Amino acid sequence: MAAKRKPEPRRIRLMIPRADESALAWIDLQDDASGSMRALIRGSIARDGYVDVINQPVERQPRRGRPPADINGQAGPAGLSGSSADGTEPSVLGPEAQEPAAPAPSTSTLPAPVDDDPRTNDAIMDLLA
């Protein structure tokens, strides 16, 4: 009986531009570049099926960050105006989630400066008075 011959592997040339530093760094870190590429191909097939990865239609991702300004130049979600009926800015969080502004420290609550020279202390205390 004749032994079955193992099929010859298909050779594919991979070219990475020198400007693509991240792809070059990744490929240099692989112990088995061929096995790593096959694993990526299998993952792509499992995720997207048999498609041309480069020429796939691009799906729009949801917007991130601040919403675009409306015609009046006010930013915010649709249906919300830039101010409420009482003239204050609307809150994204409820009023219970907002923290009150901390009062500015007064000069009487500031600790006295520490200095060995009593003349400097006297001059600073005169300024604070």
Report pLDDT digits (tens) over 36-84.
Answer: 999 999 999 999 899 998 887 777 778 888 888 777 766 555 544 444 5
Instruction: Tell me phi and psi for residue 26, to 5 degrees.
Output: -65, -50
pTM over 0.75: no
Number of other residues whose CB lies within 10 A of the CB of residue 57: 5
Q: Does the structure show a pLDDT above 90 at 4?
A: no
